[in-house]
Amino acid sequence: MITVSSQLRKVPVAVRPTVKAAINAIRTAAPNADEVPYQMEAPRSERMMWKIVRFTVDGKNVVGVGTFPRHSTIFFYRGRELDAAAGLLQGSGKDTRFVTVRSPEDVARPAVRKLINQAFKLARS
């Protein structure tokens, strides 16, 4: 079985600090959320996101973290319903939206933290 820590050891060194920062930000925002590691190996294509972990509340997906070779992504399963005022949310899917993060400092931005908190507040409502 694949674990979050085993996945992190395989994440490219260039993006590993950003992935760790994203996971820690989510853990801080929702310490009681369940962590579900994706059971996938690194993709062969650099254009495909490697999904590392998703966080759930009451069995419902809330937020996930994935990575590419040069940047990482925090994706919100109900992102369409979040406040997009900061202009950070990307994507045009039915529900999911995402934020691209290129450094731990990007993850620490108040607007990113606010989106993470909003996602969990929405999940609990």
Q: Which CATH class is domain 4-124?
A: alpha beta
pLDDT of residue 85: 67
Q: Does pTM surpass 0.85?
A: yes
Domain parsing of the chain, residue ranges: 4-124
Region label for 89, one of left (φ > 0), alpha (ψ between -120 and 50) or beta (otherwise): beta
Mean per-residue pLDDT, 31-44 = 87
> Rounded mean pLDDT of the chain?
91
pLDDT of residue 45: 77
Give pLDDT tens digits for 62-100. Answer: 999 999 999 999 999 999 999 876 788 999 888 999 999
Give pLDDT tens digits for 102-117. Answer: 999 999 999 999 999 9
β-partners of residue 37 are: 53
Cβ–Cβ < 8 Å for 82, 119: yes
Q: How far apart are CA 122 and CA 79, in angstroms?
A: 10
3-state SS of 108-123? HCHHHHHHHHHHHHHH
Which phi and psi (to 5°) does residue 36 adopt? -120, 105
The alpha-helical segments, DSSP class H, found in the chain are 4-10, 16-29, 104-108, 110-124
Mean per-residue pLDDT, 40-51 = 80
Q: In angstroms, what is the C-alpha Rg of the chain?
A: 13
